[in-house]
Structure 1
Amino acid sequence: MAFQNPLVRSSRVLATVCCMSALLGGAAVAPAQDATLKMRFVYDGTPPSVDNIDPNKDREFCGKHVIPNEKLIINPTNKGIQNVIVHVYTRSSGDDLPKTGPGTKTHVLANDECRFEPHVVVAQTGDTLKITNPDPVGHNANLNFIRNTAQNLMIPSGQEKEIALEEEEPAPIPVDCNIHPWMRAYVVVLEHPFADVSDEDGNIVIEGLPAGKEITFAVRFEGGKLDEVKVGGKETDWRRQRFEVDLKAGDNDLGDILVPADAVSAD
């Protein structure tokens, strides 16, 4: 009987063990891929002509600036609708979300050229809202919070105030300047970061969502109720302005969401 060289045998055993370890180890550390939701809100029709604001206070300063009616802003080139809010609806899908700690960001809401910038702030509980006034005229910020403490703050020229956002709010909270009554913004406070506001082209992108889950999203828009829309060219009922998506790993692109012309208004 011929004896096998023990060095050769040991090398083969070691190679086999290394291969199995690599396979098992690779399977153990393979990261789960997140899901991303994408969509674009589009006005289904000929965009209406919306007049700019004619300021009736501090005309010497405010009258020098173009102040748009931000209740309805439609891109004249591609009909994208700006300032639509989309976020995960936690009453239905909160248990499926990745666990996140409290927010640590500071969001700036500026009284800039007699309008609020940005028009919509999306924040997480734990974040801070900093209200600034770079204008040479005085402003105030009246925040009609429901769960956080309501605030009505005077913001003199060149000054700022900070507010701790401690509680989730059940709806977008209006921010008004009582000195200049056309000025309005909104603050959205959520317990999670899974939200977005449509940009000047109507685009929404929400990243870091859990793949393999059916998630419910809520839609909010100052200019009207978005409950009857077209998705993929088909009429779709978003009951109570909510919709569900069975999320796959990677991009989940719903494409253009067509909003009927009679559903929204700048009035």
Structure 2
Amino acid sequence: MRMRVPGNLLLGLGVCALVVGCGGEETPRRRVVAQQGSPAGGAPGAAPTTAAPAAAPAGDAAGDAAAGWGTIKGRLVWGKPELPKMPDLDVNKDKEWCLKEGALKAETVVVDPETKGIKNVFVYVRKPSGVHPDMPKDAAAVKAAYEAAFKEKNGIPISELAKAVAEKKVKLADVKAPGMIDQVHCQYYPHAVAVREGQPTLVLNPEPIAHNVKVSSVSGKNEANPNMPPNTFQVFEWQEESQPLKIECSIHGWMNMYGMVFDHPYFIVTDKDGSFEIKNVPAGEVALVMRNPKYIDAKTGGKGSSRGAKIAVKPGETVDLGEIEVTGL
């Protein structure tokens, strides 16, 4: 499927929308905007979580599915006494807005000081043998599930979002969607997002300043660089990509994040305490990959590879990898 950035979804609004407080007090969004995903293997309309969305039931299994399904879970934890540093970012433009809620921190490695959990790590099965029958079988089914979830969360189809925002029936800052990327005081939230091919990716700019969203793709098939005036949004439809997409803002050079696009539902992004759980994985020997974007060995926490670690999955059982200590990223 080709990526497209529909021109009719880029919408500039009036002067009032450019001024914080013009229609009421600003919502303290930095603490909540990342909570728009859904668990791997679940439906896009599921309860909010930082995990990557995998879409809703769609009928038939895809490919030669294994004769059973299991679950893989675990938790990535920082194995050194000292936490990795998160230095202040060099904010050298639009400081009044960008630093309004305080200094911005680099999110290269994010470790929770209480649980030692490592956030924003992609965990996924490499080349699964099939897809569970309760999950979408192809990109078209994934897109249909996304559109249904978007309408349920926001009360309108995504195709009507531009009109609703223009008519001030919907506030862009209140929009919710699986796998959504938001820009809050000149920083992306979340810092890592994973989607399944066919699932639109909504990128918001509800800010009173302009951004752009530059997408760099190793294969070249997902590259884009649209401008985003204040209070606008873009919709991307990305193709499967074996390497992470780098997403950044050329206007504000410190803004960057990563995305991954899969052609199957067996992926997740670790949450605040480093936990991950991937359900309905085809039984048998599977390759589990972890990356940040550096590779992590799923068994030892040491240096991993793109081929992943071999994990034996038995039908109806859960493989609990426990706490995986990581000492370098």
TM-score by structure 2 length? 0.62
Query: Displacement, 1:238?
Result: 3.8
SS at match of 1:107: coil
Q: Which moved more, 1:101-110 or 1:247-256?
A: 101-110
Query: Displacement, 1:237?
Result: 6.7
Aligned-partner residue type, residue 112 of structure 1: V
SS at match of 2:225: strand
Query: Displacement, 1:78?
Result: 1.6
Structure 2 residue 296 is matched with structure 1 residue 226: yes
Aligned-partner residue type, residue 234 of structure 2: K
- Are the aligned partners of 1:229 and 1:238 in contact in 2 as well (CA < 8 Å)? no
Structure 2 residue 210 is matched with structure 1 residue 138: yes
Match of 1:52 in 2: 88
Structure 2 residue 278 is matched with structure 1 residue 206: yes
Aligned-partner residue type, residue 205 of structure 1: E
Q: 2:70 aligns with which of 27, 32, 35?
A: 35
- Are the aligned partners of 1:84 and 1:197 in contact in 2 as well (CA < 8 Å)? yes
Structure 2 residue 126 is matched with structure 1 residue 89: yes
TM-score by structure 1 length? 0.76
Aligned-partner residue type, residue 313 of structure 2: L
Q: How does 1:1-267 map to 2 (within 5 A)?
A: 34-46=69-81, 47-66=83-102, 67-90=104-127, 94-98=128-132, 100-102=137-139, 103-104=142-143, 105=146, 107-145=179-217, 146-165=219-238, 167-211=239-283, 213-222=284-293, 224-227=294-297, 230=300, 238-240=304-306, 242-248=308-314, 249-260=316-327, 263-264=328-329
Aligned-partner residue type, residue 95 of structure 1: S
More strand by share: 1
- Are the aligned partners of 2:299 and 2:309 in contact in 1 as well (CA < 8 Å)? no
SS at match of 1:108: coil
CA distance in 2, matches of 1:238, 1:201: 21
**What is the aligned-residue RMSD (CA, Å)?**
2.1
SS at match of 1:77: coil
Aligned-partner residue type, residue 129 of structure 2: D
Structure 1's 54 and 239: CA in aligned 2 closer, same or farther, altered over 3 A?
A: closer
- Are the aligned partners of 1:229 and 1:258 in contact in 2 as well (CA < 8 Å)? no
CA distance in 1, matches of 2:79, 2:210: 40
CA distance in 2, matches of 1:151, 1:58: 24
Q: Aligned residue pairs: how many?
A: 221
Moved over 4 A (4+): none
Match of 1:24 in 2: none
Aligned-partner residue type, residue 324 of structure 2: I
CA distance in 2, matches of 1:149, 1:122: 14
Structure 1's 253 and 191: CA in aligned 2 closer, same or farther, altered over 3 A?
A: same
Match of 1:28 in 2: none
* Cα deviation 1:193-240 (Å, max 9, x = unaligned): 1101111100111111123x1111222113x44249637xxxx77444
CA distance in 1, matches of 2:179, 2:300: 33
Structure 1's 241 and 34: CA in aligned 2 closer, same or farther, altered over 3 A?
A: closer
Query: Displacement, 1:136?
Result: 1.0
SS at match of 1:60: helix
